Amino acid sequence: MTRARRTATQSPLSTPNRPVEASLRETIRDLIARCRLAYDSLPPTTHYYKYGTTPKDSTGRALLDQAYLMLLNLQNQFLVDRVANARGFPNDQRLFDTAMEMLQLSNMYWIRRDELAGFIIILTGSSAVICVELLDQAKGQSALHFSRSDAIQKLTVFVHFLEWIRPTDGNYALTQKLKTVVKSVIDHILDSPQRQQLGQRETENGRDGLLR
């Protein structure tokens, strides 16, 4: 009787609802597909990539406009994957790859910082994803495949851009906080191998002293 009463009073959220999970997964896949379809349906002249991940040989205003549209597309995909993570359907590798691509594209906007200032909110999320994975990788806890040096390079260039933003630009206070956090992560990651080597030397010296 007690067991039956406990089962009857359990919250519906405490047991998995497979039809709902399947529906959410399908919704996420559909949203990602719609993002790509919306971008692919644009005139080819507005696309940033020639094929695959190879950019076109565009220059000047055309290059920046193509990058801007691609950045909008990546922003949509990034937001969908962030929501998916919050719902318990992570796609960490795709989320990380999107974050890296967003930073790479945003770094070419040095000469149009007023436009990029509007992306600071979403770039905060993408830089945070990269920082977290770098920290996890340093602890040997990241299962993602990425180049550590490439991630650090993109973050470093991004920090330089943040330093260039003026107090009169939009989201200035946020950019300064973001700059401080990202710089501290970069410093920590770059110092980690040195600290490990120093600790290893101290351990070896201590061991040698004991052997003597």
pLDDT tens by residue, the chain, 212 residues: 444 444 444 434 344 467 777 788 888 889 999 999 999 999 999 999 988 888 898 888 888 889 889 999 999 999 999 988 888 887 889 999 999 999 888 877 665 666 666 677 778 889 999 999 999 999 988 889 999 999 999 999 888 888 877 787 767 888 889 999 999 999 999 986 545 544 444 333 433 443 34
- Would 20 be classed as within a structural domain? no
- Would 21 be classed as within a structural domain? no
Contact status, residue 142 vs residue 136, Cβ threshold 8 Å:
yes
Give me the number of domains the chain comprises.
Answer: 1
- Would 24 be classed as within a structural domain? no
CA gap 138, 186 in Å, rounded: 11
3-state secondary structure 17-66: CHHHHHHHHHHHHHHHHHHHHHHHCCCHHHCCEEECCEECCCCHHHHHHH
CA gap 183, 186 in Å, rounded: 5
- Would 47 be classed as within a structural domain? yes
Point out which residues pair with 51 in neighbouring strands. 54
- Would 150 be classed as within a structural domain? yes
Contact status, residue 155 vs residue 103, Cβ threshold 8 Å:
yes
- Would 161 be classed as within a structural domain? yes
Q: Report the predicted TM-score, pTM, of the whole model to 2 decimal places.
A: 0.72
- Would 164 be classed as within a structural domain? yes
CA gap 104, 98 in Å, rounded: 10
Domain that holds residue 108: 43-192
CA gap 30, 14 in Å, rounded: 27
- 33 Cα distance to chain centroid: 20
Question: What φ, ψ does residue 54 adopt, rounded to 5°?
Answer: -95, 115
